[in-house]
Every structure is written in structure tokens, then in C-alpha cells.
Amino acid sequence: MDRLLEPAKGKLKIFQKMEQGNTLTAWAPADKYYTALVTGDLGQLQALTAKHYGDVNVVFEINKNEMEWQVKSPVTFGLSGLWSLEYKRELTNPLCIAAGHGHTDCVRHLLHEHANADATPGGRSALHEACQAGHTDCTQLLLDYQANPNLLSDEGFAPLHLCRSQNTLGCAKILVKYGALVDQPSEETQETPLHTAAEHGLPDHVYLYLKNGARVDPKNSHKETPLSVACGQAKKLEDQACYLRVCKLLLLYGADVNSTDEEDKSPLHKASKNANHGLVQLLLRNKADINAIDYNGASPMACVLQSASFKRELKPHQTVQMLLNHGSQKIWPAAFEKVLKLCASTPEVIEILFNSYSQNCVSEKWRAAIPKEIFQMHLSFYQSLFTLSCTTRGLQHLCRCAIRKQLGSKCYDLIPLLPVPKSLQNFLLLEPKGIVF
């Protein structure tokens, strides 16, 4: 039966859930018990346990009213919606609360009082809670008391799946030491801990799992390998170094650089879409298929062009330049007007693509593809482009094209070896200058 022990305070309501036949001292102060667990007040916890809570496996039902953003419909620049008051119901127990807040002394006291280390009143055990929060000492203590390191939560995750941030590395090491399965898939998405570490850009976790025998190329429910997941998540500039380290480790342990997911996208497709030129370079050095076509008929070059205007801070022209210098097929000349529509706000991309042709007739129709404000913002470049209308490119450019044609997919490796000034090497490698001539 359920009994409200204390009047609700504010928006937090705590109920005592008891099995039939269990009894408590009258008016047992549930709110004080909960507060002692959250704050780590061991003295108060010991007193309350001794006086009111002989059974430390008691289950709390916590009800909250919280404001949540409810999405109503997509709009041009995001999602429209409204704030609404949502009713939240959570089941938990003292051990889960203490472990989740990292109060080791309280966890030790509860375990000493025979708390069930594997109880999951709200769908997760205390070990799940401790690992997700990165509380290493609590994790160690729970495992010392025989907590199951491979217990799945109601969501289908083992504790190792919840090690999703750098501060959980200690927990992950202890879990592995106590027998956590490094290849255990989650129930719904079939993701292994290696997928999780790759998704969150955690190179130290990745190394830990690989060193302990994790398979490098397991596939999740979307047929993605950890390498594919990492390349798809490497979106922010500040995170690129971490994801680069993750991918280097995976490739060092033999990851398939050309594995494809359910949409036939390779890691190179995803890295190119994210305009991550460092990651693109790494994949190409490991023999990624530069002209692979996905289910929608897109190549890695097409992927970066489709996202270039939204990734300006990541300098997408460097990815375009990298792909061309490694032998990517050029855009069909007749499709250049479409490229202008996609990439007008990134003139560096337009310059590199335009200079990859020995000759591409500039059409006045192209003007209509460029928004007026973008044209004015990059006036010097677009003026230089349309100056070439109905003219032949210069001899210097034609010589560049002849050399690049001769070197083919080896441009990136061989041009820096030519005995010519650095400025000329950059010219041959299609380094943008801000104008075309």
C-alpha cells in the first residue's frame, strides 16, 4: 500500500511505498530521510535508520511538477512550442539516492544494513546511478558488496553503457576489473560500450575497452560501427581533437575504414558532412574510398557541399580542398549553378571548385543563384568570377591543371615535394586567394 508520510513541501512530494505487511513507526519523516540521503548527512541517516527505517530497502515515490518545453511544429530556424507544467513520477530507494549523489559513507552504511545492491525500483540499480555520475568510490564499494556489473536497466543499459563522460573513466576501469562485459550490447539499439565511448568522444574509454578485448567493428541496430558513430558525432570545433584521437585508436586496432551503415554511408561520408578536414585526412590516409556513393547517391564531396553553408566556422573549404587533392571526382560542370545556390555564402568553396576545372564557362545565369546580400558581402570575389565570363583562363591556371592531371590522386603527397616555392605549391594545391583569375 502507499501512504503519504508528510505533507508535501513545494513541488516535491515524497511517498513511502511499502509491501503488504511491512510497517513503519508512525509518521516516519520521509522528507528528512530523503534530505539526509541527498546531502550526505550520515549522522542524520544513522539516526533515522535506527529509529524509523529498520528496512533500508524501502522504496520512495517522488512526484514533481516541472516546466518542460513542448515542441509543437518545426519552423525555419528551429522548433516552435511552449512551456508546460509536466507531472514527473520517479521510484527510487535510499541506496540509489546516496550512490547517485556520491555519498560513499552513506552507501557504506546502507550496505552494512543489508541494502540490496542490485535493487532497481526505478529501473536502475545504485551501480547505474553511481557510474553515470562518475562516483568512483561508490562504484568500488558497490562492487565490493557483489553488485552485478552487467545488470541491465529497464532501458536496456549496463552500467558500462552509462560511462558517458570523461569523469566516468575511473568507474569504467573498476567495472572492467570486476568483470563487466566490454562487448555487451544494449537491448534496443545494440550498442556496445565501445559505441558509447566513440559517440561521446572519449579516447581513454575507447583504449580501455580495446585493450581489454572489445571487438573493434561491432554494429548497432543502424549497422554503424564505433568508427562510423564517432565520425558522425564529430560536429563541434572544440570537440574535434577528441574525436580524432578516438578514430586514430579505432583504426590502429583495425577498424574497417569503409564500413557502411543502413544508408550505405561510410565514415568518410559522415566526416565530410561535418566538415571535419582533420578526420577526413585521417580516413583518406587509411585508404577510405573517396568516391563511395551512399543510398541517396551522394559522394563524400556532395556531403560537404550540402552542409557547407551551415558549417562556415569549421572552414568547409578545407575539406573540399582535401578531397580534391586526394582524387575526388569533380562536380559535373553543368551542376555548378546548383553548387552556387548551396555554397554562395562560402566563396572559398566556390573558388576551389571553380579552379579544379581547366575551363568552365561562366554564365550570367549564375548571378540569379547568388542572393544579393551574399554577392555584396563577397563583392571582390564574385566580381572577379564574372569578369571571366566568355573568356579563357590564364596560362598559369592551365599549367596548374595540367600538373594536377598528371599527379592525379597523389596531388596532396607529391606537390609538396616539387622543387618550387611554397607559394607555388599552395597554388597547385588549390589554396584559395579570395579572387579568381
- pLDDT mean values, one per 10 residues, the chain (437 residues): 38 53 56 92 92 83 64 51 64 95 97 95 96 98 98 97 98 98 97 98 98 98 98 95 98 98 98 97 98 97 96 96 97 91 95 94 89 95 92 93 96 97 97 94
Q: What is the pLDDT of residue 60?
A: 85
CB within 8 Å of 248: residues ≥ 6 apart: 282
Contact indicator for 175, 201 with CB cutoff of 8 Å? no
Tell me which of 160, 181, 202 is where a domain ends. Answer: 181
Is 245 contained in some domain?
Answer: yes
Is 77 contained in some domain?
Answer: no
Q: How many domains does the chain have?
A: 3
Is 269 contained in some domain?
Answer: no
> CA 320: distance to chain centroid?
23
Is 310 contained in some domain?
Answer: yes
Contact indicator for 143, 174 with CB cutoff of 8 Å? yes
Per the structure block, which three cell numbers stand in for 190? Answer: 545494440
Single-letter code of the amino acid located at 156 = G
Q: What is the pLDDT of residue 10?
A: 38
Of 205, 281, 270, the residue nearest 235 (C-alpha)? 270
Tell me which of 181, 200, 226 is where a domain ends. Answer: 181
Alpha-helix runs per DSSP H in 237-308: 240-252, 267-273, 277-285, 300-307
Same domain (yes/no): 430, 304: yes
- Give, in degrees to the nearest 5, the angle at Cα 424 between 423 and 428: 120
Same domain (yes/no): 156, 38: yes
Q: What is the pLDDT of residue 218?
A: 98
Q: Decide: residue 372, CB within 10 A, 0-12 exposed, 13-18 middle, 19+ buried.
A: exposed
Same domain (yes/no): 33, 173: yes
How many angstroms separate the CA atoms of 226 and 198, rounded? 6
Single-letter code of the amino acid located at 323 = L
Which residue range forms the structural domain that includes residue 170?
29-69+88-181
Q: What is the pLDDT of residue 77?
A: 46
Same domain (yes/no): 361, 245: no
Same domain (yes/no): 337, 413: yes
Is 82 contained in some domain?
Answer: no
Same domain (yes/no): 157, 194: no
Q: What are phi and psi of 311, to 5 degrees?
A: -125, 30
Question: What three-state secondary structure class fits 206?
Answer: helix
> The domain spanning residue 42 has which CATH number?
1.25.40.20
pTM score of the predicted model: 0.88
Stretch (H or E) spanning 90: strand 78-92
How many angstroms separate the CA atoms of 55 and 137, rounded? 24
Q: What is the pLDDT of residue 64?
A: 66
Same domain (yes/no): 37, 163: yes
Same domain (yes/no): 152, 34: yes
Same domain (yes/no): 177, 205: no
Same domain (yes/no): 305, 360: yes
Same domain (yes/no): 114, 249: no
